[in-house]
Amino acid sequence: MTPRRLGRPLIRLETVDSTNRAAAELAGQGAAEGTVVVAEVQTGGRGRLGRSWSSPRGGLWLTTILRPPATAGETVATLALVGGVAVAEAVGRLTSWLDQPPEVRVKWPNDVHLNGRKLAGILGQVCPPDAVLLGIGLNLNVSPEELPFDVRSLATSLGREAGRFMDPSASLEVLFAELSHWYGRWLDEGFAPIRRRCLDLSATIGRPVRVSGPDLELEGEAVDIMDDGALLVRTGGRDTVVRSGDVSVRTQ
Ligand code: BT5
């Protein structure tokens, strides 16, 4: 396997509207694969589908420029899961010293949850002609009180769950090591190993879920993650392939 080191060069900004927007500009100027933009504060952090991402001081807000061999829809979907697995593995390493490490889960299509609350979100975007921007927002030392009221009760931070201040530079290094590892595997072996790890770490597989997407609403059981990163949901005897949308686990 060819080792690939993501996270160099590292461009540190104090305040920016969105690291994905800043990275798009750099990618357009030919920035190399692995270049990362990281900001202390984002004033216009973006989520999916036009949603916003709250980015006060204390979080890791960053975008990595990737130049994969293709930039089709499934590339972005599977790379978002590469990001999810890498974040989850990094969080696992950063909390392994605790007597009772928090439960880390990947929640399809682009979240990482810690003890049932949203810790991180991933935003994969194609940047024509040949780049993919992998945005990661991780609440490192953000206290939920600093987040908007409607987000607060659903979110958590690593510092809060670990019960101590998390060192940003050390945390970034662990995150880049995991991202480099899982992106390298994605390039060399395809999505299969990431899919397997996603299934192990999944918050949804085998659980009753509600899916709301741009063009569908359904309830069923999440049964699998497909080769192209889609989620398979079973309702009665019927399977539906879900390519985008939000999934919530139903409590019965
Ligand atoms: C995401 O979107 O979860 C992807 C978020 C990606 C953010 C990173 S930060 C660096 C890079 N630059 C950017 O501009 N973006 C990326 P989505 O699945 O659409 O979730 C958005 C929803 O998450 C919002 O509507 C809120 O409900 C919730 N949310 C917003 N800020 C949050 C936070 N800090 N922590 C937890 N949940 C949050």
Ligand 1 touching residue 108 (CB < 6 A): no
Q: With CA atoms as reference, report the closest residue to 33 among 4, 62, 55.
A: 4
Q: State the distance from the centre of ligand 1 to the C-alpha of 175, rounded, in angstroms.
A: 18
Q: With CA atoms as reference, report the closest residue to 248 among 208, 199, 202.
A: 208
Query: Tokens 């390493």, residue?
Result: 93
Atom of ligand 1 nearest to the CA of 49: 19
Crossing angle (nearest 10°) for helices 192-201 and 168-189: 130
Split at pLDDT 50, 70, 90, the class of 72 is confident
| Three-class secondary structure of residue 28 per DSSP | helix
Split at pLDDT 50, 70, 90, the class of 3 is low
Tell me what pLDDT residue 143 has.
Answer: 86
CB 15 within 8 A of CB 57: no
Taking CA atoms only, the protein residue closest to ligand 1 atom 29 is 53
Ligand 1 touching residue 135 (CB < 6 A): yes
Say what the pTM is.
0.97
Residue 224 and residue 183: Cα distance in Å, rounded?
22
Task: Answer yes or no: is pLDDT of 109 > 60.
Answer: yes
